[in-house]
Amino acid sequence: MFMFSHDDEGRVTRHLLVAFDDTELSERTLEFACSTFPEDRITVMFVIDSHTDDTAATGWGNTTDEYERWVESRREFGDELLAHAREIAAEYDATVETIIAIGRVHRALIDFYEDADVDLVVMGYHPRSRLSAYLAGEFSERLVRTSDVPVALVK
């Protein structure tokens, strides 16, 4: 069930949260959101998740700042990625807000939408292997099961 607010002129307004990473699927997901809801508020989130990021170390070594250096490098990557997201949105005459979160992807999305009055979460779904199918399915299913707002999965 969608529940939307209305602006001062009586138009329906929505707030969408789009999960974004460095995949083509993520770009298609953002394109879907921007082409379908160009007048609405769209927040694009990149999550730094050491559990799923291929650049994360399996152990952080003996130095106390190794993890912090990694997070800073991922923030820089995220800034570049979100600049690309703004370029995609501009192609659809949409404007996006961007945010970088740190933590588990599903938890970051849930924490944000619980605090930000989000009407719809939009994320990509396209498993590439049995393991990724299991992990993506588990992640998507977990988000759909625990979400208080609708979740749109884009293939």
In this prediction, residue 155 carries a pLDDT of 81
The answer for residues whose C-beta is within 8 angstroms of residue 13's C-beta and 6 or more apart is: 4, 5, 6, 7, 39, 40, 41
**Angstrom distance (rounded) from CA 30 to CA 11:** 23
Confirm whether pTM is higher than 0.85: no
Quote the pLDDT of residue 101.
96
Query: What's the pLDDT at 81?
Result: 97
pLDDT by residue for the chain (155 residues), tens only, comes to 344 444 555 556 689 999 999 989 899 999 999 999 999 999 999 999 888 888 887 666 667 788 888 899 999 999 999 999 999 999 999 999 999 999 988 889 889 988 998 999 998 875 554 544 444 455 666 676 777 788 888 88
Per domain, the residue ranges of the chain are 11-154
pLDDT per residue over 21-38, tens digit each? 998 989 999 999 999 999
Does domain 11-154 correspond to CATH entry 2.60.120.10? no
Phi, psi of 28 (to 5 degrees): -60, -35
Give the pLDDT of residue 27.
Answer: 96
